[in-house]
Amino acid sequence: MALFGCGSSSDEKPTATEAPTQAPASPQDQAASDVCAARADIQTQVDTLATVSTGDATRNDVTSALEAITTNLQKIKDAQPNLTPERKQQVQDAVTAFGTQLQAVVRQAVATGSKADAKAQATDAAAALKSATAESLQPIDC
């Protein structure tokens, strides 16, 4: 069996022997990355609620999205101590404002139970959280 080439030209640098050029992330960099990833997932879950509200929403769909949002908000809180002082304050303010809105949405979600209620819940939750995300979380520098 013959091999017909390695697929590189003479002016390409070999990739297998290159040393990594990035230093390990500092605790501040890792915390900032964690905050941004959690913020992005919160946005995804809010978008999911908006999609669910237009279809066959179940209470479980709404609850699942709200639990994921709550988990991500906790990830942001957990990352706060490692942020730079300026970012820490920005994130703390955002978490407080968003957390207040989230608690109100969760209370409303727990209070209702029928399928019609689930669709209305998803619609209301999506609207409230979309607004809260835009006002509170989007200003976080990522």
Per residue in 29-63, pLDDT (tens digit) is 999 999 999 999 999 999 888 887 666 667 777 78
Per residue in 108-142, pLDDT (tens digit) is 776 665 556 667 777 888 888 999 999 999 988 88
In angstroms, how far is CA 81 from the centroid of its own chain? 18
Q: How far apart are CA 17 and CA 10, in angstroms?
A: 15
Question: Is this model's pTM higher than 0.75 or not?
Answer: no
* Burial label, 90 (beta-carbon count in 10 A; 0-12, 13-18, 19+): middle
Q: Which CATH class is domain 27-137?
A: mainly alpha
Domain chopping of the chain, boundaries: 27-137
Tokens of 118: 């689930």
Structural contact between residues 48 and 67, judged by C-beta atoms closer than 8 angstroms: no
